[in-house]
Structure 1
Amino acid sequence: MMGDKYNTPEEKYEYISKQHGGYYRHDFTDHAYLYNLYFPPKAVFKHLKENIEDLVLNYPMAQDALASLVSKITDQATERIVVGNGAAEIIKILSGHLAKKIIVPVPSFNEYVNAAPKGRAVEFPLEFPSFQLDVDKFSAEALKEGADMAVVVTPNNPTSLVVPKADLIRLAQKLEKQNCMLIVDESFLDFTDNKEQISLEQEIHKYPNMAILKSMSKAFGICGIRIGYMLTANLEFAKAVRNEIHIWNINGFAEEFLRILPQYLSEFKASCEIVKKDRDIFYKNLCAIEGMTVYKPDANYIFCRLPDAALSGPEVTKRLFIKYNIYIKDSGGKTQPDAERYIRIASRTQEENNKLIAALKEVMYE
C-alpha cells in the first residue's frame, strides 16, 4: 500500500495531478511548485515554536496594523497597502469582485482568469514563439474590449520572462487614458538580476492607475503561511480592495512572520542569490539537451519546449513521476499554441536539478 488514496505509481500520479498542494505528505521531489528552498532560516521556526501558544490562543491583528508591518518591509505608507491571505485572496477580489472586464496576457497564472465571473476575462495571446508582451497591441486590445483592469505578471508564470520596466510604464500611461487599472504582479521579481532597477514598487506614486501585487509565499518560502500584499498610490482603489477583505483574514503565524521579518532581510537577500546561482547552472545544463528550446529564466523556474521528436509534455510529466518520483508542470490546459509541447520546471538544489536532467533524458523519447 503506497498511500490511502492510491496503490500504484500510476494511481499516485492521477491523485497528485488533481491536487493543489499538501505535496510533502506524499514523498516525491516537487519541481512543480515554485519555492525558495533557502528561506526562512531555522531561527524563524524556532521563534514561531516558542510563541505557538500565544499565536494559537489570541486573535490576530486587523488590516491597518498588518499594513504597518508590511510598510516596514516595503518602505511604503500604510494606506497604500492591503494585506491578503496569500496573493490569491487579493486576486479573487480583483478578478471576481472589482473588475467589470479584466484582460490578461496568456499563458499566465491561471487564477486571474479562473477567479473572474464567466465572460468577464479576456485572454490576450503573447507573441509566439518568443512569449514577449507587445504592450502597444495589449493596450489597444484592452481599449477594444472595454477592460477596466489589465494584469501583467513579471517575471511571467510559466515563461519566467521579465516584462521590461519601460514597457510597463508606457503601458500604464496608455491605460490611464482609458481609465484602466494596471495590476503588475511582481511575485517572482526577487529572483531577477537588478531587482532594484526593475521593480516599480518605489515608483508607485507616479502611476495612479497602477497596483503592484506580491505573493510572499514563493520568494520567502512560506507557502503554508499564506501572505500576499497589494501596493498602490491610488487610495480609492486600495480602499475598494480593503472593503472586500474580512476583519481577521490573516492568522497569527502570518502576522508574527511579518513582525520578525525585518530582522532577516539580509538572510533573505542571500537566499535569493543562492536560488539564482542554482537556477543559472540548471539553465546551462538544460540548454545542453539536444533539441530542447530553453527560455532564459528571470525567476526560479524554467520554461522549455521539448524537442519535436520527443513525447508530449503531459506524457513526459507522467513518465517522470511514475518512473523517478519527480513532479514537474506541463503546459497542457494553458492558453497558448502547441501547449502540449511545453514544460515548466522549478529549480531546486543543484543535486536535485542534476537528477531531474538525467531522468528527463531517460523518459523524453519512446
Structure 2
Amino acid sequence: MDPESVRAGERVPHGGDTDPDVLDFSANTNPYTPDGVAEVYDRALEQSRRYPDDENPDFRAAAAEFVGCTPDRVIPTPGGLAAIRLAMELTLEPGDDALVPYPSFGEYAREVQLQGASPQFVPHDEILEAEGDVLESAALAVVCTPNNPTGDVADPDELAAFAARCGEHETTLLVDEAFLGFTDQPSAAGLEAEHVIVARSLTKLFGLPGLRAGFAVASGEQRDALETARRAWSLGTPAASVGAHCLRQDAFVRETRERVARERARMTNALERRFDVVPSAAPYLLCNVGDRAVDDVIASARTDGVAIRDATTFRGLESHVRVAVKDREANDRLLAALDVLESDDRTGTDGAEARK
C-alpha cells in the first residue's frame, strides 16, 4: 500500500443501517441463515481460547467444493473485500493503471488508489469487450458479477474470452463474485488461469455480514504469492467453522435462490408502477426514480421504517436508489413504503422460505 496515497485517500459510502428499529433494505444480505449456525458458533467460541488453525483445512475444503476447485487454490480471508485488497496489493504498484467498471462497487477504485495506482473507469457492460492497447496499458482489470448495483451477470463464455485476452497482455483479472452464490452461474475459479484471481464473500448469501468470512481463489505462482502475503490467522475460528458449515448447506442455497428469483420478479412488477427498474439476477434491484428527488424517496421510505440505498453515490448514477430483495413479509413493507403495493401483490406466506 502506498503511504502517500493512503494519506490522501477517503472512505466511500456503503449500504447498511445500524438502527435496529429500521427495516434495512440498503444492504443486500440474506434475511435467513442456515440451520445449526448458532450451535457451530458456540462450539467454535470455546475453541477460540487457542489461536486458530492457520491452515484452515476444513474451510478450504468446503470453499473448494462450493466453487469447483481444489482446496490448495483457496486463500481464506476475513471477508470478500479482504480478498480484493490482497489481490490488489499483490498486483498493483504506484503509477499502474487498473480497469474498473462503473457504476459498480465503490471500493474497487478506492483500493486501486490506496496502492498508488489509477482507476481507468469503463462502463460495466463494456468491460468484457476491452482489448488491445486498453489491456496492454492495464496491470489489472476488475469484473463484478453480478455487478453491484445493476445486478447483471457476466456471460461465462464472454468472461472466459476476456480472461484469455487479459492473459495475452499480462493483465491480472480480478473477478468479484460476492453475489454469484445467489445465481446458478459457474465460478470463474473454473478457468484455472494463473493471471485470474477470484474473490468470494460468504456473508451475503448466508446472512452473516458481521462474521467477516470470504476467500480468494488463484493458481500457480499467483496462488503462492497470495498465500504468503495473507495475514497470519487471517480467519478466526468462529468465522472458519461457521463458514465451512454454511458452504455445505446445499438445500439452503437452493431454497434461497428460488425465493430470491420469485420475490425479485414480484417486486419488479410492483416497483415498475412508479420507477424504471433495471433487470437483475442479484438479490437487489436498481430503480431510476426519474424526476423525483432521490432524497425525498429515501426520506419517505424511512418515515415508514424502511431504509433504502442512495445509489447516486455510485459513479454515473444521478437519479437512482437500490433496494434489496428479502423475504415476502419484509418486501411487502418496502413496497408499501414506496407506495407501490396493491392488494393483489399480497399473496400470503411463502411456503418455500429458507429456514432461519
Give the alignment's TM-score, normalised by structure 1: 0.81
1:300 aligns with 2:283: yes
1:175 to partner: Cα distance: 1.2
For residues 214 and 18 of structure 1, do their structure 2 counterparts lie closer, same or farther at Cα, with a shift above 3 Å needed?
closer
**1-structure distance, mates of 2:16, 2:50:** 27
Residue ranges of structure 1 left out of the alignment (5+ in a row):
1-16
Q: Residues 234-277 of structure 1: CA distance to partner in whole angstroms, max 9, x if unpaired?
A: 22111222222111011111121134335522222222222222
1:40 aligns with 2:28: no
Residues 215 and 227, structure 1, Cα contact 8 Å, conserved in 2? yes
Residues 277 and 285, structure 2, Cα contact 8 Å, conserved in 1? yes
1:240 aligns with 2:231: no
1:188 aligns with 2:179: yes
1:333 to partner: Cα distance: 2.5
**1-structure distance, mates of 2:37, 2:71:** 24
Q: What is the correspondence of 1:53-202 to structure 2 with a 5 Å cutoff?
A: 53-63=45-55, 65=57, 66-100=59-93, 101-117=97-113, 120-126=117-123, 132-136=125-129, 138-140=130-132, 142-143=134-135, 146-192=137-183, 195-196=184-185, 198-201=186-189
Counterpart of 2:69, as a letter, is: Q
**1-structure distance, mates of 2:160, 2:269:** 32
3-state secondary structure, aligned to 1:270: helix
Residues 106 and 125, structure 1, Cα contact 8 Å, conserved in 2? yes
Q: Residues 163-183 of structure 1: CA distance to partner in whole angstroms, max 9, x if unpaired?
A: 212221121111111100111
Counterpart of 1:199, as a letter, is: S
For residues 333 and 264 of structure 1, do their structure 2 counterparts lie closer, same or farther at Cα, with a shift above 3 Å needed?
closer
**2-structure distance, mates of 1:124, 1:40:** 38
Aligned pair count?
324
**2-structure distance, mates of 1:80, 1:250:** 16
Q: Residues 199-232 of structure 1: CA distance to partner in whole angstroms, max 9, x if unpaired?
A: 333x322x33222211111112121111111112
**1-structure distance, mates of 2:188, 2:208:** 23
1:345 corresponds, among 302, 323, 327, to 323
1:161 to partner: Cα distance: 0.9
Counterpart of 1:85, as a letter, is: P
**2-structure distance, mates of 1:263, 1:107:** 33
For residues 259 and 293 of structure 1, do their structure 2 counterparts lie closer, same or farther at Cα, with a shift above 3 Å needed?
closer
Residues 36 and 272, structure 1, Cα contact 8 Å, conserved in 2? no
For residues 259 and 172 of structure 1, do their structure 2 counterparts lie closer, same or farther at Cα, with a shift above 3 Å needed?
closer
**1-structure distance, mates of 2:20, 2:127:** 41
Counterpart of 2:53, as a letter, is: M
Counterpart of 2:102, as a letter, is: V
Q: Which moved more, 1:349-358 or 1:222-231?
A: 349-358
1:31 corresponds, among 22, 25, 28, to 25
Residues 95 and 113, structure 1, Cα contact 8 Å, conserved in 2? no
3-state secondary structure, aligned to 2:113: coil
Runs ≥4 residues deviating over 4 A = 17-22
Aligned to 1:319: 300
1:265 aligns with 2:216: no
Give 1 or 2: higher helix fraction: 1
**1-structure distance, mates of 2:247, 2:329:** 31
For residues 170 and 263 of structure 1, do their structure 2 counterparts lie closer, same or farther at Cα, with a shift above 3 Å needed?
closer
Counterpart of 1:268, as a letter, is: V
1:296 to partner: Cα distance: 1.1
For residues 307 and 358 of structure 1, do their structure 2 counterparts lie closer, same or farther at Cα, with a shift above 3 Å needed?
farther
Give the alignment's TM-score, normalised by structure 2: 0.83
Q: Percent identity?
A: 23
**2-structure distance, mates of 1:141, 1:219:** 37
Residue ranges of structure 2 left out of the alignment (5+ in a row):
1-11, 341-356
**2-structure distance, mates of 1:135, 1:73:** 25
Counterpart of 1:86, as a letter, is: G
